[in-house]
Structure 1
Amino acid sequence: MCKDDTTHDQSPGTASTDCTERGVTRRRVLQGASAAGVAGLAGCLSSSGGGDDAPEPVTLGESATCDVCGMVIPNHPGPTAEIFYADEQPSGHDNPARFDSTWEAFQYDFEHDDWDREAFYVTDYSAVDYEIRTDGGQKLISTHPTAEAFADAEDVTFVVGSDVVGAMGRDLVAFGDEADAEAFADEHGGKLASFGDVTPTMIASLGM
């Protein structure tokens, strides 16, 4: 049975494919592994604020479009993200800013570094039963744009540039459990990074 039957993953430029076809659940449940704290966030990005006053994540609905590329988010595979900014209307709409890839979210945030970021959420693939399917020679990872699937971007470990792609190609796939990230990278390639490791140069290397 499809593990995410509320969404319809779709590779860029192709019709959507039933996720029961060529799909395989890949999430590892690793015993005895604890999540490593993501510390030393002295990189290019400022703190997202966090704390009890930070806005809670929201579900990106059926018609939600990416604020960078304009694609309908639930209709495409891969990591999603959302960012809340204080006293701003990203792309002319109410918060949060919405993205169908993690790298586009970082790109947008770098371009708006003069805005006060309140919260930055990314898909946590440790928190969902994700699937990887092959379509057109590409390995595509399922999308999970629901509120409960999001985690604070400062609290995850990213796998950057693996052979598993999302809506916009190579991406940063986030895991709340560092052991899950290590297992994913061992199987699919890529390197591990924390929030503070992400730079404009890294993001530019992933862009289409």
Structure 2
Amino acid sequence: MFRALLFSSLFLLLAGCIEQSKQQQMLHQAVAIESRDECHLCGMLISNFSGPKGQLFRRGITEADGEQVKKFCSTRDMFSFYLDPENKRNVSTILVHDMSKAPWDAPNDGYFIDARQAWYVVGSEKTGAMGKTLASFSTKADAEAFASEFGGHVIDFDGVDYQALQ
């Protein structure tokens, strides 16, 4: 009886580790933003603008297409692309800058985080490449502090919709 219980516990622990490993493998590493990279949505040079940037990995139409990284000059442009139902269902990973660590004027490729886990400030006085943008943060406390200083309100990933992009 004890052996069966011990075996069951070890099996569940191992299954949990395997599942966590699969989830970690699904999250891609950010691809460096090069000086010539253009925004997938608007075509502007990404590195010419301040504020948080975004990247997403979209599954190809066929298996041979593999996954393609799409880079965006702002979180607003990235979400405008992502929220289209055709795109949304084909996206495996979404990344945004953690603005609690990255300087607003020159976000760094080392500070990308999982957009699904991030907190966003909507309606702040800070602007990005296309004007209004969603400031992205790894913690709710940092997002709230930013909103206190620059205005706006805090939402999570599920709260991002077309109205939040206005």
TM range (shorter): 0.7 to 0.9
| Deviation for aligned residue 1:115 | 4.1
Give the secondary-structure state (helix, strand or coil) at the position aligned to 1:82.
Answer: strand
In 2 relative to 1, CA 86–51 (structure 1 residues): closer, same or farther, beyond 3 Å?
same
- Structure 2 Cα separation of the partners of residues 73 and 185 of structure 1: 25
- Aligned equivalent of 2:133: 171
- Structure 2 Cα separation of the partners of residues 95 and 161 of structure 1: 30
Residue 183 (str. 1) matches residue 157 (str. 2): no
Residue 116 (str. 1) matches residue 90 (str. 2): yes
Percent of aligned pairs sharing the same letter: 30
- Structure 2 Cα separation of the partners of residues 87 and 74 of structure 1: 26
The answer to whether the Cα contact below 8 Å between 1:163 and 1:188 also exists between their aligned partners in 2 is yes
Structure showing greater radius of gyration is: 2
Unaligned runs of 5+ in 2: 1-21
What value does the CA root-mean-square deviation take over the aligned residues? 2.1
| Deviation for aligned residue 1:201 | 2.2
The answer to whether the Cα contact below 8 Å between 2:56 and 2:70 also exists between their aligned partners in 1 is yes
Residues matched between the structures, number: 140
Give the secondary-structure state (helix, strand or coil) at the position aligned to 1:103.
Answer: helix
Q: Comparing both structures, which one devotes a greater share of its residues to helix?
A: 2
Give the secondary-structure state (helix, strand or coil) at the position aligned to 2:82.
Answer: helix
Unaligned runs of 5+ in 1: 1-49, 131-140
| Deviation for aligned residue 1:182 | 0.9
- Aligned equivalent of 1:98: 71
Residue 85 (str. 1) matches residue 58 (str. 2): yes
| Cα shift readout 1:15-74 (whole Å, capped 9, x = no counterpart) | xxxxxxxxxxxxxxxxxxxxxxxxxxxxxxxxxxx8122222111111110011111101
| Deviation for aligned residue 1:177 | 2.1
| Deviation for aligned residue 1:145 | 4.7
- Aligned equivalent of 1:142: 105
Residue 59 (str. 1) matches residue 45 (str. 2): no
